Amino acid sequence: MGIDAVIYAKNRDGAVPDLSWSLPNGVEWCALEDWDNAPAGATHSLANPWRYYAEDYPSGPGHQIIALLALLLESPDCEMVWYGGDCDGNYKPVTSGMLVEMLLVFLKEGACYAKYRRG
């Protein structure tokens, strides 16, 4: 059990961006389904095997999530990117400021489960 990372994107032309070769192993573009609780405007989700990573829940692989969000944010094919956990549907628009904050948390808390291992 735990909170899974959820990533949505709005692609400029509605098609899958030409950066699939850059995605980490285990991450792939998915068309939205009717049951998706996607933010308004999202055209795709990115299936991933990761736990959510944030200041209040530093559980997932923060460095990989931050890198992927940065890649998407800087892609000319992505108009908008959202990130959040699968527990509440509160997906926040990704900004460069948000990525800096996540990186600072990662540098302080470390990799997956580091906070919980320290006790």
* pLDDT tens per residue, range 93-106: 999 999 999 999 88
Name the residue type at position 54.
A
- Distance, in Å, from the CA atom of 6 to the CA atom of 57, rounded to the nearest integer, reads 14
- Identify which of 41, 44, 42, 40 has the alpha carbon closest to the alpha carbon of residue 20: 44
Average pLDDT over every residue of 38-49: 94
Structural domain tally of the chain? 1
The H-assigned helical ranges of the chain are 62-74, 96-109, 114-118
Domain extent at residue 32: 5-118
pLDDT value at residue 111: 63
Share of the chain above pLDDT 90, in %: 50
Q: Which residue has the higher pLDDT, 105 or 69?
A: 69
Spatial separation of the C-alpha atoms in residues 116 and 28, rounded to whole Å: 29
